């Protein structure tokens, strides 16, 4: 594979695994990119900042090799499971359910929307059950899961 093709593949794979939301791995990526760019503080949460930093980083063969090792490590850590960190959208889902249920009138349509939301979140959690975020949850994830179970219970009680 040519250098340009290798750089392109690494850029795409790093972007993909970054987007899965693995906090520990993304912190490591931020350190690699900060060292590579010589700038302390690549904004690892901003897709455009990440893309700019990756374009610069993959031009250096040593950093390219480090980034390739990084995405392979993340892929192994996540057992090839490309499911996003469920905590990324869980807070939004939790807020959505009580907002709909606390409305003056809970219509059958609103209840149906809440049931679909619960089913979607349940499926996300099930598909992510072996990921580091759920296999070894931190206090924040435990809080999110507890709040979700409470909101989920409210929806199911209305069924």
Number of domains in the chain: 2
Question: Within a 10 A sphere around the Cβ of 85, how many other Cβ atoms?
Answer: 21
- Six-digit token pair at 144? 């999110």
Does a structural domain hold residue 69?
yes
Domain-ending residue, one of 58, 77, 96:
77
Among residues 77, 97, 119, the one where a domain terminates is 77
Q: Is the pLDDT of residue 5 over 90?
A: no
- Buried/exposed code over 40-61 (b: 16+ C-beta within 10 A; e: otherwise): eebebeeeeebeebbeebbeee
Indicate if 28 and 51 belong to the same structural domain. yes
Residue 98 and residue 70 share a domain: no
Last-in-domain residue among 48, 77, 106: 77
User: Other CB atoms closer than 10 Å to residue 3's CB: what's the count?
Assistant: 11
Q: Cβ distance 41 to 26 under 8 Å?
A: no
pLDDT band at 9 (very low <50, low <70, confident <90, very high): very high
DSSP H or E segment with residue 144: helix 139-157
The least confident of 60-74, 92-106, 142-156 is 92-106
Residue 135 forms part of a structural domain:
yes
Q: Does 20 have pLDDT greater than 80?
A: yes
Residue 65 DSSP SS3: helix
Q: Are residues 39 and 93 in the same domain?
A: no
- pLDDT band for 41, please (50, 70, 90 cuts): low
Question: Do residues 52 and 95 share a domain?
Answer: no
The pLDDT value recorded for residue 4 is 80
What pLDDT does residue 42 have?
80
| 57-93 per-position pLDDT tens digit | 999 999 999 999 999 999 999 999 999 999 988 889 8
Range of the domain at 7: 3-77
- The closest alpha carbon to 141, from 62, 88, 79, belongs to 88
Instruction: Examine the domain organization and report whether 124 and 146 are in the same domain.
Output: yes
Residue 155 CB-density burial (10 A; 0-12 exposed, 13-18 middle, 19+ buried): buried
In a domain, 82, yes or no: no
63 and 107: one domain?
no
Q: State percent of the chain over pLDDT 90.
A: 68
Helix axes 139-157, 87-101, angle to 10 degrees: 30
Are 117 and 151 within one domain?
yes
**C-beta of residue 101 within 8 angstroms of C-beta of residue 145:** no
In a domain, 119, yes or no: yes
- Is pLDDT of 122 > 90? yes
Q: 13 and 65 share a domain?
A: yes
9 and 73 fall within a common domain: yes
63 and 114 co-located in one domain: no
What the block records as the tokens of 81 is 């499971």
Q: Is residue 141 part of a domain?
A: yes
pLDDT, residue 2, reads 67
Q: Two tokens at 123?
A: 């499926």
What pLDDT sits at residue 40?
63
Among 1-10, 18-27, 135-144, which stretch is predicted with the lowest mean pLDDT? 1-10
Q: Does residue 16 form part of some domain? A: yes
Question: 129 in a domain, yes or no?
Answer: yes
Percentage of residues in the chain having pLDDT higher than 70 = 95
Predicted pLDDT at 38 = 67
H or E stretch covering 8: helix 3-18
């Amino acid at each position: 594979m040519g250098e340009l093709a290798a750089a392109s593949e690494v850029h795409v794979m790093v972007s993909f695994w970054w987007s899965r939301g693995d906090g520990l791995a993304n912190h490591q990526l931020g350190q690699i990119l900060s060292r590579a760019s010589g700038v302390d503080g690549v904004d690892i949460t901003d897709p455009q900042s990440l893309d700019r930093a990756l374009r610069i980083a993959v031009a250096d063969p040593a950093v390219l090799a480090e980034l390739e090792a990084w995405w392979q490590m993340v892929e192994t850590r996540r057992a090839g499971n490309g499911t996003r960190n469920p905590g990324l959208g869980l807070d939004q889902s939790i807020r959505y359910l009580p907002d709909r249920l606390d409305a003056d009138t809970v219509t059958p349509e609103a209840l149906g929307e809440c049931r679909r939301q619960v089913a979607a979140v349940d499926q996300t959690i099930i598909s992510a059950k072996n990921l580091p975020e759920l296999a070894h949850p931190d206090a924040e994830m435990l809080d999110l899961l507890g709040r979700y179970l409470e909101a989920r219970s409210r929806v199911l009680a209305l069924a």
